[in-house]
Structure 1
Amino acid sequence: MAEAPAQTPPPRSITSNALTEAEAQTVNDLLTYLGEHSYAYDSHVQLINLMHKGLITHVHGDGGETSRSPHDYGLLADLRQAREAMDSRFAIGEDLWTDWLSDEIIIAKASDGEARISVMELCQKATQDEPMSVRIWQVYADWIESNYSACNDLPEFDQSGWSEDDKELCRELFTRDLLRGVLEKASSATQWRIDSGYVLFNRYMAIIQEDLLTAGAGESSVLKQLQNLYVERLKLPSAGWEEVAQMFWPVISKIHGSQWEAAMSHMNELAAPAKSQMASRMENEARLERAIESGDQTVAFEEFSRCLKWEKKQKRRGVHERELLSALYERALLRFPTYTEWWLDYVDHVISQMPSSHDPSSSALPLLERATRHCPWSGELWARRILRSDVERLPYAEIEAIKHRATNSSLLDVGGMEEMLQVLLEWSTYLRRNAFTSTSSEDDLDTAEVGIRMAIEDVQQAGRKVYGESFKGDPLYRLEKIHMKFLLQARRVDDARHVLSSLASSQQNSFEFWQLWYHWEILLWGHARLSDSHRVETTETAPQLATQVVEQMLSAKHIDEPEKAVALYVMHFQHNESVESLQAAGIVAREYRQRTTIRRAKEAEDLAMQQAQHPATSTTSIEEALPSANGEKRKREDDGGEVRTDAKKSKTQDAALITNGDIIDPIVAAAKRDRENCTITLVDVATDVTEADLKKFFRDCGTIKATNIVPGHVNELSIATVEFETVEDVITAKTRDGKTLNGSAISIRSGSRSTLYVANYPPEYDETAVRKLFDTYGEIISVRFPSLKYDSRRRFCYVQMLSGQQAQAAQDAMDGKMLDGQHRLLAKISDPDAKKDRSGASAEGRELFVKNIDFTASEVEVKEFFAQHGTVTSVHLLKRTDGKRLGNGFISFSTSEEAQKAVEATNNKPLRDRVLHVTIASARGGGVDKARKADIIVKHSASPEPSSANGRRASDTSMASGTRDAAVEEAAHNVRERKVAILNLPDTVNDARVRAVMEKHGSINKIQLRRDQNAAVVEFADIKAAFNVRAGVDCSALGAEVRTGDVAEIFAKGRKGPATGAGALGFSGMKPSTVARPGQQRGGRRGGLGFRRGGGAPSSEPHDGKSADEKATPVKSNAAFRAMFEESREVAPAKEHGV
């Protein structure tokens, strides 16, 4: 069994003068959390970094000089225990190792010789974890050299704090030979690091030269040894090649004397390939160095990714390519030690360079061991390690220990079910192979069966733990397939069939399962018939067990692919059964098809009835609540001049989706759609790959819902995403990782935790603006805005990054960032499983909607009025875009009981001179929500508000007479000329974006979004601006196919018959509006222009705004209409005075 990991420090209340109060509380919280989640990598790192910071602060204080003993640090024992606990679970990485060694060196300098030896042992362990870390090797060599010098009383080293006993103890260990040996290992381990490996080599050569010269050996012998070392090193590419050559120069001059030029020329010839390789990488190295020095982890990650991609393209193009790529992987993983994809790539690269048959002299297991220590949550890495162990012929006990180490590394809690399943799959496959080798015994067979059964049980237990008691096992039944294969090899056919039979209850609706079982039975039947010398078809020789399978398949009521099921059923009888059976099967198949059709129709009908009981929210205009220029409410009318009678009808096609005959509620469908976990990302996609190629490549993996290709830059490969219907499809698709598509080997990554949920950005932000917010943190695959068809107030989007690490970096940098001084951005990694029910005042029933509030009442006055009945938490009085109040507002209380009490006390009660109408605000489906989901109106008053009313208080009921300002009259009558249609408008575009684009061309009075026609109507303040926009302007910021046009075009699609007259030419918007003449309203108010006195019966004609006479009247020109309009203005006042 695997050794148990060390325990984390126990949770307790920690206080320290070296930490702030907030830091101490964080340490307490982390200790508590790690007590329950001991494999939480990030929490381990955070805890250790905080305690390390406290140690440095304690030792050095504020002045930067050592002031206190490290042994007095109160959290020293906890820090050491935390590091041991993390090291027993993970390889902690270069940065944490460097901090750990520096801390222990500080402590050892204040301790005895035993502590100094412990630091050396710790250095050895660090170099095993990170063998290519120049920093760690430097610390190791420095420690050996400083102790060697102090023990031997060398004058240039500080000897304070050393006792004679400590010197005697360390003098035997810290020797010159040890230092030389460490530097030799360091030089060899880092020789392929072209950026800094030469530093350790130069240090090694300096001590070699000094030792050889002082050893008394012959000078020529010494020089020859040095020459050989330098020549071999100079044959390797290195950024410090010139520096190494300078150190070699004195050796050459002594050996060759006056012939040094020829010797140096020969040396340059030998080093030419290395120098050429280094020259080709200089630009990459410079960019990589700048990225690392910037301190930006995202930039560094992108540069390493780019360099790795470039290096992989250099395969088989020169010497040392394999070693250089391996060294680059090591450098990248030193910087990002937990990035699983790079470890997998590195392992694949190393194994691919090894011979197909195992060579005992080379092993990939040390690399795989390091990989699983750095990423113990990766089931794929553990599976590779088990597989490689079998390839390298490790004994069963050692492979079993690896499996136990994997399953004890909290794979389920950190990696999830799929990671755990990958380990158990590889382990079960190994057990099956091991049971049937030439040297296997009966014990091996028993061990294999027990192990495979236990693996299946482990999955069942883990599934119930994660998904609850409803978990039915791996949907792809992969372990069960291995079990069946084992039983078949053991000649236990009935037991194998029993495995399939036991799966039938959980897989009864899966056509793929029945197809597998059927073909399995047919294969066994065909194998048994091979021994027959003459084939005679009889009932007894027919594949009866296969027949039972297809019959049982058709008994499943909800099989996922009924058409394929019935086709398989008929095909079986056609190929294998008698003519009588085939005739009966045809009848059964026809009845099955009929039942399927009836069932689907019934389901569609039930869902349609359900939709009818909950119709879609009707579209109403907020404009109805806004006073017009003359103070009265403006009637809702379509911009084409027709009053729509069907505007409030529920349309089933807008509330449901019909897919393959099944009607699905779009809201339910959206809730079930899990893009985050059902999407994969493809890297290294050839530039000529199309979406059709992707669908063809993954056609056998499952149902593809969407594909997207992000073109690469010049001479670079592309990136693509494929969204599947289910998580099981994703699992299947991952098996195609590394396969070739159009000549390029693609890399498949999971799309989970790579998508950001972004909200609360300025409403006018479009895709370009959102991309600018996040493009510095990685490659953006897509920006997805929600449909605003059912809720125009939605303002969020999803930004999919190339990897989860990029998404995390973007979240860390952008979440909570203030934009334009008003909007605090929300940027969180999207997690469909973390969705919560709505909360807030409205959802909790403690928000009131109040109507008929006095326009002059302030928020303070309203709050004081309602505060008599409870604690008011907020007051929001609705305003128009011009700042004028609407007379409505929302009042929030601290509890729903207070809100209900306030309704009872204030509804139909006066505030000032107005009677309030108070109700509980509805979270969904109320009048306010209908307005929110309706066409959105952004309106400016066409006339200025009166400054006073002769000392009278303004009323909510208009008392304006028929006499109006000339400008107001003109604005009211040329409104159609000032309206422009925006066509082909995507339902993801809101009114703010429309406004931002249109206001570039002139002042706007109103914007009306028409979601049902994918259009918008913009009313400009100026006729000229409207004419210019209608003629055509650039609207590409709103969508690729968006264009401007006449308002009549919006409604032309719904009219029967061809358009005629001016409207057919696209200029109906320039026609003068007709004057509607409704009957006199009660209240005795004077009618303005176009109103008859004395009232009249309502017209029985269709209410389309035109009488029969008017419809027959020829269309007048603008000039004729204006003349008529001026005449009417002169006649109307005369009639009012009795003239």
Structure 2
Amino acid sequence: MAASSNEKKTQLQNMEEEDAGMEAREMESDEEEQDGMGAENSDDEEDDSSEDEKENEAEIQRLEEQLSINAFDYNCHVDLIKLLKQEGELVRLRKARQKMSELFPLTEEIWLEWLKDEIRLTEEEPNREKVYELFEKAVKDYLCPEIWLEYAQYSIGGMGSPGGMDKVRSIFERAVTAVGLHMTKGQTVWEAFREFENAILSTLQPPPGRIPSREEQELLKIQLERIHTLFRRQLAVPLMDMEATYAEYEEWSEHGVADTVISQYKKALQQLAKCKSFEEPLIIAEPPKLAEYQSVIDFELKEGDPARIQIIYERTLAENCLVPDMWAKYTTYLDRQLKFKDLVLSSHERAVRNCPWTMGLWKSYVLALERHGADHPTVSDVFEKALNAGFIQATDYVEIWQAFLDYLRRRVDFSKESSKELEELRGAFSRSLDYMKQDVEERFGESGDPSCIIMQIWARIEALHCKNIQKARELWDSIMTKGNAKYANMWLEYYNLERSYGDPVHCRKALHRAVQCTTDYPEHVSEVLLTFERVEGSLEDWDVAVQKTETRLNRINEQRAKVAVKEANLARQEEGKVDQRQRAKADKKTQKKGQKGTRAVEKRKAEQHDYHDEWNDDSAPKRHRGNGDHASEEYMETETGRFGRNAPPGYKPAQHGNKRAQQGSAAAQTQNDEKPELRNDNSSVFISNLAYTLEEPEAKLRSLLETCGPIKQVRPVFGTKGTFKGYGYVQFESTASVSEALKLDRQEVEGRPMFVSPCVDKNKNPDFKVFKYQISLEKQKLFISGLPFSCTKEQLEEICKSHGTIKEIRLVTYRSGKPKGLAYVEFADEAQASQAVLKMDGMDIGDNKICVAISNPPRRNMMDKPGSNRPDIMPRQVFGSRGRGRTQLSLLPRSLHRQSEPVSKVNNGTAAEQVPSTANAAGETKPLSNSDFAKMLLSK
């Protein structure tokens, strides 16, 4: 039995071993199959990844080439950094980030990514200094609590090195100074600082049961005081959720909270309550939050705490770094109030790095550098950077040159006859003139300094400070040769210079030249010359001056008279053209009336024929018969109302009547409807510029405007023939619907822009205009010309959206809907629009090269309007600045017009009878009497 049991055991063991072997073999085979499949999948994945790598590398090379052409393409830098990070190109990634940081301030997200990558790459101790340098660059760009917190936490890792503890505390102190007043995020930095000090305190605590030594007790006391101080400092600052901090301090402090701390805490709570009404809208608002930030800034300016004003400006600029006006306000405040050199200059530098296209920021920067005693190479370097910043107006370059030349002039000691600074000033003046001529005029196609302001300043400096009147005269000769000799004010400026620093001979010479050359105000310069000779001239000089001024003024008056005659002839020609057009129009009307009369007779005959057929039908009532064989002369009343003195009793017009009568009725009804009925203008809109071929216009208008609100009435306007005239009226039930309907203005309807305008009675509002002509510079809006006619709104939006947030795009079209190749693109702010001008101007779209500029509509010529103070050389006609209008035609008989002719018209060989003169001896015109009109008409 024992042997048999042992055999069974061995059999069982063998079976188990066989099963295990089979399982092992099956698992091996499965693994081999999986390995084979995995190898195939890995091959496919390697092929896909290699293709992606090739595509990414090609894109990286393209971006690098684009940056070599235009290094200031911000979006291109961002795309390149993303691709390099994705590909793991760490060395190239670092270079790309460094290059971008040299040109632009980096956002908080870009800095944090870069810092974390560098921290992982430089975990060794000797490389920590490079990371510290990178953090120092990061905290200078924008006010970012997260970067300061990361900086402090990274410094804790180097606490073991010599001086590491002091370095950590120094960084924390700088952090709470920079962002500790940040109402919503400052609390995290304070808490991190206290946690660090609490960690240090735990290391100083002696083990349980051991009495600390005297030195240890002193260290504990110092550390506890540090933590107490941090609590007191934090509780004195109004921060969100500061109640929790106070509760934590009460729990932590063994001896309770001091009365002074409680007093400061209550004051901070009161300040927090004031600020909450401004901070809460700021938290829930959508970026860029400019209006909300401006409210907080205004509040803090009234409060007058410089530190809090600085922190709110920094918070605003962290989210609105491309708003030049905000940088200008901030730097102006620092220049006038705080006046701390490092803070002021760093803020100016950040301003021009963020908005380099804004000349005013560069100008303020140059002045700030001079104000705080910066050395000359630094100021010159900043000025050279400003010249390469890419301003969008030619006049910007004139202003920045003026600022730099003013700086150079203030460096010169004019008590010395010659100096290095004076030569540098003269060299800068000469260079500025060359720069205006070569660079500015070539780029903008116009002179940025048409009045030669820079040359005028140079001439005055030479005359006043250098006593070099000859150089000043040479400069003024050059000014006059640049097209300024025809202006009286330029000659008077030169005369005043000679009067102050020259001699009477050159004064007289300047005034004589002014009389000969001036075309705008010759009378004025003539009067100045005569006044000068009254005071200083001899009789001979006086006679020469009188003769010269009289000759010049006579010539001017002759020119004016010739021009007046020419204008009068043009006006008469225009009047003749108008009369000719009126006669042609009258002939056409007469011809149409004749045709209409013929058609009306034919139509009346046809209607009478239909009437007889219908009346003689068996189903219709019989006409009344007279005693004779013919029908009586009584007429039947029909739909059109054309016939019908005595309709048969009980007669109703047939609904199926002839089509001519129905059409005539519809046309008559439509013509009656063309006169606007009494309606509520406040709840109505006027729709126009629709296609005449629009089918079912009433239903179409209702479907287009039903989204704006409940519609009370839709009234399209039809012509006399029943055809739609392309416009109509829509009356809503509520006035609130009108504003929604006006938003549909210029919406395309069957290929034409539909015009939607308020329904206003122009008899009561004669000055009403639907289109308000914009005449001011629209800094956030671009004017684009040269677009292909095939360019759509969607295509233009796709091109422009990479340069900023687009609010509105409007393609300019003719009334028929055909494009003009022009467009207006409105961005969210002027900074984005300015960037778009720099990047899009000269861009090729299809076969067209577009021109892009800031929208700056030309001002209307107000000088030609009645009542203006323009000193016209030629007298204006009474017709207005654009000639005689159609509404200004004379309604007097033509015979009356002929009275003004020198020779009376001859009819049939005899002169027509002259109408007696209507002017009395005093030259006043008497009204014509009835007998005068009778004579005039009978003579015809």
CA drift of 1:213 comes to 6.4
Tell me what 2:400 maps to. 423
Residues 229 and 140 (structure 1), Cα distance of their counterparts in 2 relative to 1, 3 Å cut: closer
Query: What are the equivalent positions in structure 2 for 1:50-199 lying under 5 Å apart?
Result: 50-51=82-83, 55=85, 57-58=86-87, 73=88, 75-108=89-122, 112-130=124-142, 132-145=143-156, 147-148=157-158, 172=161, 175-199=164-188
Measure, in 2, the Cα distance between the counterparts of 1:608 and 1:198.
83
Residues 371 and 243 (structure 1), Cα distance of their counterparts in 2 relative to 1, 3 Å cut: farther
Query: What are the equivalent positions in structure 2 for 1:565-964 lying under 5 Å apart?
Result: 565-577=521-533, 580=543, 581-582=545-546, 584-596=548-560, 598-599=562-563, 751-755=778-782, 791=816, 793=818, 798=824, 803-805=829-831
Measure, in 1, the Cα distance between the counterparts of 2:555 and 2:428.
46
Measure, in 2, the Cα distance between the counterparts of 1:723 and 1:501.
40
CA drift of 1:313 comes to 5.0
Measure, in 1, the Cα distance between the counterparts of 2:415 and 2:364.
24
Tell me what 2:726 maps to. none
Query: What are the equivalent positions in structure 2 for 1:283-682 lying under 5 Å apart?
Result: 283-291=277-285, 299-301=286-288, 303-312=289-298, 314-315=300-301, 317-320=302-305, 322-354=306-338, 364-407=344-387, 410-412=388-390, 417-436=394-413, 442-467=419-444, 471-472=446-447, 474-488=449-463, 489-508=465-484, 511=487, 514-525=488-499, 543-554=507-518, 562=520, 565-577=521-533, 580=543, 581-582=545-546, 584-596=548-560, 598-599=562-563
SS of corresponding position for 1:364:
helix
| Conservation of the 8 A alpha-carbon contact between 1:757 and 1:797 | yes
SS of corresponding position for 2:153:
helix
Tell me what 2:197 maps to. 208
| Conservation of the 8 A alpha-carbon contact between 1:238 and 1:278 | yes
Measure, in 2, the Cα distance between the counterparts of 1:405 and 1:519.
34
Tell me what 2:263 maps to. 269
Q: Which runs of 5+ in 1 are unaligned?
A: 1-14, 59-72, 150-170, 292-298, 530-539, 621-628, 643-720, 725-729, 731-749, 812-827, 841-1050, 1058-1139
CA drift of 1:280 comes to 2.4
Cα-to-partner distance string for 1:722-742 (whole Å, 9 max, x where unaligned): 966xxxxx9xxxxxxxxxxxx
Measure, in 2, the Cα distance between the counterparts of 1:19 and 1:609.
75
Please, what TM-score do these two structures have when normalized by structure 1? 0.45
| Conservation of the 8 A alpha-carbon contact between 1:757 and 1:798 | yes
Q: Which of 38, 58, 71 does residue 38 from structure 1 map onto?
A: 71
SS of corresponding position for 2:287:
helix
Residue type matched to 1:318 in 2? E
| Conservation of the 8 A alpha-carbon contact between 1:755 and 1:830 | no
Residues 441 and 504 (structure 1), Cα distance of their counterparts in 2 relative to 1, 3 Å cut: closer
Measure, in 2, the Cα distance between the counterparts of 1:463 and 1:47.
33
Measure, in 1, the Cα distance between the counterparts of 2:497 and 2:406.
22
CA drift of 1:552 comes to 4.8
| Conservation of the 8 A alpha-carbon contact between 1:754 and 1:805 | no
CA drift of 1:493 comes to 1.8
- RMSD over equivalenced CA pairs, Å: 5.2
CA drift of 1:122 comes to 1.4
CA drift of 1:502 comes to 0.9
Residue type matched to 2:172 in 1? L
CA drift of 1:300 comes to 0.9
| Conservation of the 8 A alpha-carbon contact between 1:382 and 1:406 | yes
Cα-to-partner distance string for 1:1073-1121 (whole Å, 9 max, x where unaligned): xxxxxxxxxxxxxxxxxxxxxxxxxxxxxxxxxxxxxxxxxxxxxxxxx
CA drift of 1:598 comes to 3.7
Residues 603 and 189 (structure 1), Cα distance of their counterparts in 2 relative to 1, 3 Å cut: farther
Cα-to-partner distance string for 1:673-725 (whole Å, 9 max, x where unaligned): xxxxxxxxxxxxxxxxxxxxxxxxxxxxxxxxxxxxxxxxxxxxxxxx9966x
| Conservation of the 8 A alpha-carbon contact between 2:395 and 2:449 | no
| Conservation of the 8 A alpha-carbon contact between 2:398 and 2:448 | no
| Conservation of the 8 A alpha-carbon contact between 2:401 and 2:432 | yes
CA drift of 1:347 comes to 0.3
| Conservation of the 8 A alpha-carbon contact between 1:425 and 1:479 | yes
Residues 829 and 458 (structure 1), Cα distance of their counterparts in 2 relative to 1, 3 Å cut: closer
SS of corresponding position for 1:754:
strand
Residues 181 and 492 (structure 1), Cα distance of their counterparts in 2 relative to 1, 3 Å cut: same
Q: Percent identity?
A: 18
Measure, in 2, the Cα distance between the counterparts of 1:1052 and 1:592.
34
| Conservation of the 8 A alpha-carbon contact between 1:144 and 1:174 | no
Cα-to-partner distance string for 1:164-222 (whole Å, 9 max, x where unaligned): xxxxxxx5379333323222221111122222112112211222344356553545554
Residue type matched to 1:553 in 2? C
| Greater length-normalized contact order (CA 8 Å, ≥ 6 residues apart) | 1
CA drift of 1:329 comes to 1.9
CA drift of 1:134 comes to 0.9
| Conservation of the 8 A alpha-carbon contact between 2:278 and 2:295 | no
Aligned length: 599
Cα-to-partner distance string for 1:1045-1072 (whole Å, 9 max, x where unaligned): xxxxxx9999979xxxxxxxxxxxxxxx
Cα-to-partner distance string for 1:518-550 (whole Å, 9 max, x where unaligned): 134225415668xxxxxxxxxx67931431342
SS of corresponding position for 2:247:
helix
Measure, in 1, the Cα distance between the counterparts of 2:235 and 2:479.
64
| Conservation of the 8 A alpha-carbon contact between 1:288 and 1:304 | no
Measure, in 2, the Cα distance between the counterparts of 1:786 and 1:133.
44
Measure, in 1, the Cα distance between the counterparts of 2:49 and 2:163.
37
Please, what TM-score do these two structures have when normalized by structure 2? 0.54
| Conservation of the 8 A alpha-carbon contact between 1:148 and 1:174 | no
Cα-to-partner distance string for 1:420-448 (whole Å, 9 max, x where unaligned): 44432211110111113789961211121
Q: Which has the larger radius of gyration?
A: 2
Residues 521 and 584 (structure 1), Cα distance of their counterparts in 2 relative to 1, 3 Å cut: closer
Measure, in 2, the Cα distance between the counterparts of 1:808 and 1:423.
18
Residue type matched to 1:35 in 2? S
Residues 129 and 363 (structure 1), Cα distance of their counterparts in 2 relative to 1, 3 Å cut: closer
SS of corresponding position for 1:460:
helix
| Conservation of the 8 A alpha-carbon contact between 2:108 and 2:147 | yes
Tell me what 1:249 maps to. 250
Residues 267 and 448 (structure 1), Cα distance of their counterparts in 2 relative to 1, 3 Å cut: same
CA drift of 1:374 comes to 2.9
Residues 829 and 434 (structure 1), Cα distance of their counterparts in 2 relative to 1, 3 Å cut: closer
Measure, in 2, the Cα distance between the counterparts of 1:226 and 1:279.
27
Residue type matched to 1:369 in 2? E
Higher share of residues assigned helix: 2
Cα-to-partner distance string for 1:1028-1054 (whole Å, 9 max, x where unaligned): xxxxxxxxxxxxxxxxxxxxxxx9999
SS of corresponding position for 1:337:
coil
| Conservation of the 8 A alpha-carbon contact between 1:379 and 1:423 | yes
